Amino acid sequence: MFKKILTLAFVGAQRSASDLSADGPANIYDAVKTVVSPASKGWGAVLVMDQYVNEARYVQKSHTTNPHTFMSGQYGYLGYVVNNKVMKFHDVQKHTKLGLPKNLAKVPLGA
């Protein structure tokens, strides 16, 4: 197991790659900037979209088509990506550590 909590960014897009203002490439770029930023140290799993960084545990989709649809409600955003930098608003509330079982079930692969 890891001795420290790493930042893992999930990313997506609200607009198609063929749209005039596709958001996918910018979201990927912002996710990479977030993961390598010292500001995100210890954040764990996050969702980076539309320049905002949400803690994965609390993020919710609030609108079907609006690019600024992912929000963390009362917990707020962890940060914001602007001018190639991550502006940290606050740290995560808590981390839940899941233990691994001593013996894993044997699952047959293939038919």
Please state, in angstroms and rounded to a whole number, the distance separating the CA atoms of residues 45 and 97. 12
What span, in angstroms and rounded, lies between the C-alpha atoms of 17 and 43? 29
Token pair of 9 as six digits: 């960014």
Digit-coded pLDDT (tens) for 29-57? 999 999 999 999 989 899 999 999 999 88
CATH of domain 8-88: 3.40.50.1170
The verdict on pTM exceeding 0.85 is: no
Are 17 and 8 spatial neighbours (Cβ–Cβ below 8 Å)? Answer: no
Q: Which string of b and e fits 68-79 if b means at least 16 CB within 10 Å?
A: eebbbeeeebbb
Q: What span, in angstroms and rounded, lies between the C-alpha atoms of 25 and 13?
A: 8
Give the model confidence (pLDDT) of 75-106 as tens digits.
Answer: 889 999 999 999 999 888 776 677 778 888 88
Asked whether the beta carbons of 27 and 70 are under 8 A apart, the reply is: no
